Amino acid sequence: MSSRTILGFCRGFLFCRGLLLCTGILFFTGAVLAPSALHAQASQLQTSNPRKAGGQTTNQASNGDSKGAPADFAGVWYPSTGSTLGAATPDNPGQQFVWLDSEGKPLKGPLPLTAWGQERMKANRPTGPRTTSIDSDDPDFRCFPSGVPRIYLFLYPLEIVHTPGRVLMLFEYGHVIRQIFTDGRGHVQDAEPTWMGDSIGHWEGDTLIVDTTGFNDKTWLGYGGQPHSDALHVIERIHRIDHDSLMIDITLDDPKAYTMPLHTQKKYILKPDWNIMEFVCEDNSLNFLEYEKKVRIQP
């Protein structure tokens, strides 16, 4: 057994041990301590992260909505590679979303970028015919969280968990956790921008409406380097179209980067027998980056 294999095995063991520990803590917290912990968190948020006027206090988190939610999306879901996954086109390079116009028809031509957006897209270096990942500045290759909605483009499952006052999205890819607060609070004000944004949700019938702001401008909307700004505002309507299919209707409003709102959809397929597995991006350095150096295309 080579030293590299031993190193990989040891790292894998440590990661697994860490994952088990984290899972245990999460379960214990969710099952036993959730009400008190959320109450404490709420109190802290009220003082350190004041919410917009109109948003209810986070104390209501302890009321819980896992039982009262009109729909239950709990389970492991796999992203469909069908009609809601777009192929690269000359105008919109890279595997991506199928962007729709206001009538729900596929958007033709390039994305409606502002001058600022065009500059950003021109500056980005996505993978392409002459750019391999080793020369790309795609934030994904540096193991940064993928942002919303790009995280939906990766062909790995996500698990949805309902907890009192929150719906959690546990993404296998990169082990990103997204919290959607459904306790009536508003958005965090004056918060430091984040990779996955600040998400709040509410129910309209059996549809979960998720409103996300507070993004940084470092993630892309797709593999082609499609940019967004820190003004990005994402609204998602998550609903079941049948028992085994979840549809996420997505609207992006980013007036700094795009001249009009963008619409797209992402479909997920229920995988009742699956569990989320470990995926640690930093494992890249163990073999993938060496392979990429080997197959690099010289610009």
Partner 1 sequence: MKFKLPLYFIVGAAIVSAGLCVASLPSSAHHGTAEHDNSKTISLQGRVTTLQYLNPHALILFTVKDDKGQTTEWTAELQSPNLLSRRGWSRSTLKPGDQIIVTGHPVKNGAKAMSGQKVVFTDGRETPNMGLPPDSSK
Interface with partner 1, residue 288, by CB under 8 A: yes
Longest dimension (CA), the chain: 61
Least distance (Å) from partner 1 to the CB of residue 222? 11
Distances (CA, A) of 132 to 74, 88, 92: 37, 16, 17
Least distance (Å) from partner 1 to the CB of residue 84? 10
- Interacting residue with partner 1 among 54, 90, 109, 129 (CB under 8 A): 129
Interface with partner 1, residue 81, by CB under 8 A: yes
For partner 1, the closer CB: 99 or 268: 268
Distance CA 140, CA 137 (A): 8
Neighbours of 275 (CB within 10 A): 9
Angle at CA 154, nearest 5°, toward 149 and 158? 80
- Interacting residue with partner 1 among 73, 141, 220, 258 (CB under 8 A): 141
3-state secondary structure of 40: helix
What amino acid is encoded at 213 in this protein? T
3-state secondary structure of 171: strand
For partner 1, the closer CB: 42 or 160: 160
What are the backbone angles phi and psi of residue 285, rounded to the nearest 5°? -70, -15
> Applying CB under 8 A, which part among 20-28, 39-47, 152-160, 252-260 lies near partner 1?
152-160
Asked whether 166 and 183 are in contact (CB, 8 A), the reply is: yes
Interface with partner 1, residue 294, by CB under 8 A: yes
- Residue identified by tokens 């999460």 is 26
Least distance (Å) from partner 1 to the CB of residue 299? 11
- 3-state SS, 269-291, equals EECCCCCCCCCCHHHHHHCHHHH
Interface with partner 1, residue 140, by CB under 8 A: yes
Distance CA 85, CA 103 (A): 19
Site string for partner 1, 159-188 (x = CB under 8 A): -------------x----------------
Least distance (Å) from partner 1 to the CB of residue 131? 6
Asked whether 112 and 277 are in contact (CB, 8 A), the reply is: no
Tell me the number of residues near partner 1 by CB under 8 A: 49
> Applying CB under 8 A, which part among 107-115, 117-125, 162-170, 265-273 lies near partner 1?
265-273
Least distance (Å) from partner 1 to the CB of residue 169? 17
Pairing of strands 158-163, 75-79: antiparallel
Site string for partner 1, 60-79 (x = CB under 8 A): ------------------xx
**Residues that bind partner 1 in the complex, under the rule CB under 8 A:** 2, 5, 8, 78-82, 94-95, 126-133, 136, 140-141, 153-156, 172, 223, 245, 267, 269, 271, 274, 277-281, 283-284, 286-288, 291-292, 294-298
